[in-house]
Amino acid sequence: MTEATGQRAAELRDRLVSELVNAGHITSAAVEAAFRTVPRHLFAPEVSVEAAYADDIVEIKRDERGALISTMSAPSIQALQLEQAEITPGMNVLEVGSGGYNAALIAELVGTTGQVTTVDIDPEVTDRASRLLEAAGYSRVRVVQADAENGVPEGAPYDRILVTVGAWDIPPAWRRQLAPSGRLVVPLRMKGVTRSLALEVEDGRLVSRSVGICGFVRIQGEGRHDERMWLLRGKQVTLRFDDAVPSEPELLDGVLAREPVAAWSGVTVARAEPFGTLPFWLMTTLPGFCLLSVDPSDGGPGVAVEPGGRWFPFAAVEGDSFAYLSVRPSGNEGRVEFGAHGYGPHGGQVAKAIAEQVRQWDRDHRHGPGPRYEVWPADTPDDALPDGTVIDKRHTRVTISWPHAGILAPNRAVQPVDE
């Protein structure tokens, strides 16, 4: 690397970190110092220095079908998880998912008195991480090639476990290998929607302390869980079911041939305004919640949208009909109105149900703290669980509880799909 390249990298690194601080992604002096110290470009030799310091992912590996299976996450997402973890000097930290750069950031946070272990199932990924960590001066990070479903018992207990791949469940090994006062930060997928949860042990279960919006490549190995899909129009329009599939999905065949019916909520948001709790409110109140995928490359939008509006992937199926969240321009410039478009004989009813839940979210939860997430052992009886929605997984039962008892969704278990 030339002196000019090194100077350019330092300038870009400082600019990136300042942007992350100004945007609120970095909130602590310790995380800021780690980001200003670790040379991100040394962990991204596949791309330019400019690309290495963009707030975007860096691709590491794709599978034989071309799907991404390993990336270096965007800096803003890495900052989110590190802030959630609250790592301090001297801690023993396990990272699940190895890219190298994030492990180096953790090494800066734990200091010379702490320990960092990073584990990945793919030997190509761990070989790459080992090589880059060594070259960047972080040989003290221990790199392990293994299926993280079993954690890394050598070196446990860990004060922090950071999972940097999307997980569908929390295997018992992670819980066992967490120190009594430890914290697990994990991007957990719940009915298709992922959130980064900072979890701590409390009375035998894991309880959320903070929640962040995120996106990660999915975990491989024994912990992998594939969605079930129902194609509505070739490969262009698909409904994705993460936990439970309708008993008769074939009733939806040909549903897109009907004219859509729209229902509008009267609830508006600014185009750039976040609404991260809305998907979870819909998830916990709408039977048949699923995700809608549309590939517009086959020609046309695939599903109905209003002029100047857009569709969102959050949908619900009821028998022979379904509807999905959408927006249209409102009367106020720069704002859009939430609603839904429905297809099928009862699509209008499903769309109205979505619109009604948007109104209830706006009235009761839009400006609130959001739900409480708890992760219980799989053998926990129903009467020991809090009010709310229950999502049953292989190893755990996840509960999502909203803060106002009078308007909680009913306790409703979602059974897992057999692998």
Single-letter code of the amino acid located at 334: G
Confidence of residue 352 (pLDDT cuts 50, 70, 90): very high
**Catalytic residue chosen out of the listed positions 73, 293, 326, 401:** 73
Residues 6+ apart with CB under 8 A from 220: 69, 121, 122, 165
The reported pLDDT for the residue numbered 66 is: 80
3-class state of residue 162 by DSSP: strand
CB 96 within 8 A of CB 164: yes
pLDDT tens-digit map of 295-347: 877 666 689 999 999 999 999 999 999 999 999 999 888 899 999 999 999 99
DSSP string, 186-223: EEEEETTEEEEEEEEEETTEEEEEEEEE---PBP-GGG
The reported pLDDT for the residue numbered 244 is: 77
Average pLDDT over residues 387-413: 77
- The percentage of the chain sitting over the pLDDT mark of 90, rounded to a whole number, equals 84
Residues 6+ apart with CB under 8 A from 196: 77, 80, 81, 84, 185, 186, 187, 188, 211, 212, 213, 214
CB 236 within 8 A of CB 331: no
Average pLDDT over residues 96-110: 97
- pLDDT at 169 exceeding the cut of 90: yes
Distance CA 191, CA 391 (A): 8
Residues 6+ apart with CB under 8 A from 57: 71, 72, 73, 74
Beta-strand relationship, 389-392 and 396-401: antiparallel
Single-letter code of the amino acid located at 42: L
User: Facing residues of 81 across strands?
Assistant: none
Distance CA 370, CA 279 (A): 11
Distance CA 208, CA 373 (A): 5
Q: What separation in angstroms does the CA of 197 have from each of 76, 114, 157, 371? A: 16, 23, 20, 12
- The dihedrals phi and psi of 300, each to the nearest 5 degrees, come to 80, 165
Average pLDDT over residues 166-183: 97
Let me know if 208 is a catalytic residue: no
User: Facing residues of 316 across strands?
Assistant: 289, 323
CB 85 within 8 A of CB 162: yes
Residues present in the chain in total: 419
Distance CA 304, CA 347 (A): 13
The reported pLDDT for the residue numbered 271 is: 87
Average pLDDT over residues 41-58: 95
Residues 6+ apart with CB under 8 A from 24: none
Is 86 exposed, middle or buried (CB count within 10 Å of its CB: 0-12, 13-18, 19+)? middle
- pLDDT at 405 exceeding the cut of 50: no
Alpha helices in 177-334 (DSSP H): 278-285
Question: Average pLDDT of the chain?
Answer: 92
Is 157 exposed, middle or buried (CB count within 10 Å of its CB: 0-12, 13-18, 19+)? middle
DSSP state of 294: E
How many helices and strands (H and E) does the chain possess? 9, 20
The reported pLDDT for the residue numbered 401 is: 96
- Only one residue has tokens 């996450």, namely 73
